């Protein structure tokens, strides 16, 4: 039994059942409909790439690996345009700084 869509050489993230690419307008409309139905904040479908990059980097994945997954020519594109500083990263950074201060204070 076959499950899913037919794979093509292009390996689209979202495709028709035939494996062919969907019209971007179709994807956009369906995504807007689905997010509204789920009562989610309205975002562009493309923003999911940014979310993916940010989460992968936040959990410690190598920037090189994330860059490759996104198909970027170099890591700087990924880090400069696709990664975002989240509140979790801000909190972790503040906690790390506090630990460093305590360590420095205890050594004096």
Mind listing the pLDDT tens digit for each residue in 46-68?
A: 899 999 999 999 999 999 999 99
Confidence grade of residue 7 (pLDDT, cut at 50, 70, 90): low
Where does residue 91 rank: exposed (0-12), middle (13-18), buried (19+ CB within 10 A)?
Answer: exposed
What integer pLDDT is reported at residue 8 of this predicted model?
A: 62
36 and 53 together in one domain:
no
pLDDT at 28 > cutoff 80? yes
Same domain assignment for residues 41 and 53 = no
Report how many domains make up the chain: 2
User: Are 35 and 57 in the same domain?
Assistant: no
Indicate if 88 and 60 belong to the same structural domain. yes
pTM of the model as a whole: 0.68
The residues, any chain, with a CB within 8 Å of residue 82's CB and separated by 6 or more, are 49, 50, 53, 54, 66, 70, 72
**Shared domain check, 54 and 41:** no
| Structural domain boundaries, residue 90 | 49-107
For residues 99 and 54, membership in a common domain is answered with yes
């Amino acid at each position: 039994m076959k499950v899913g869509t037919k794979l093509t050489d292009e390996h689209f993230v979202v495709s028709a059942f035939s494996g062919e690419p969907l019209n971007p307008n179709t994807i956009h409309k369906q995504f807007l409909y689905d997010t509204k139905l789920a009562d989610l904040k309205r975002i562009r479908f493309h923003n999911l790439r940014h979310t993916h990059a940010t989460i992968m980097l936040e959990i410690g994945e190598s920037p090189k690996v994330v860059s490759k997954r996104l198909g970027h020519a170099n890591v700087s594109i990924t880090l400069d345009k696709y990664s975002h500083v989240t509140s979790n990263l801000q909190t972790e950074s503040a906690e790390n700084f506090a630990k460093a201060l305590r360590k420095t204070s205890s050594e004096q």
